[in-house]
Amino acid sequence: MRVRGFGELEAVIMERVWDYGPEASMTVREIFEELAAERQIAYTTVMSTMDNLHTKGWLARERATVGPIATGQHCRASSTRHG
């Protein structure tokens, strides 16, 4: 699924984040493991894409002992207004 203003992988990651809900936090590892079960993908690809989404303001990031944690900064509906 392609969401306006996002690349293909960005859209997939944001859909996962939005599906978990606005208060949920997900690690890069959690997103990676879900995607790796469906396709061949490198952890660093997921990490770089999530970093790009953070830079664009779509994900918040906090440091944790096991790795970065991401939460959605904008709701799904706002993705149709950005881009």
**Residue 3 to residues 6, 27, 42, Cα–Cα distance (Å):** 6, 22, 22
Is the CB of residue 5 less than 8 Å from the CB of residue 82? yes
Fold annotation for 8-80: Arc Repressor Mutant, subunit A (1.10.10)
Structure confidence by residue, pLDDT tens digits, 7-43: 999 999 999 988 888 777 888 999 999 999 999 999 9
pLDDT at site 68: 52
Collapsing DSSP to helix, strand or coil, 11 comes out as: helix
- What pTM was computed for the model? 0.72
- Number of CB atoms found within 10 A of residue 27's CB: 15
Rounded Cα distance, 2 and 12, in Å: 8
Structure confidence by residue, pLDDT tens digits, 35-67: 999 999 999 999 999 999 989 888 888 766 445
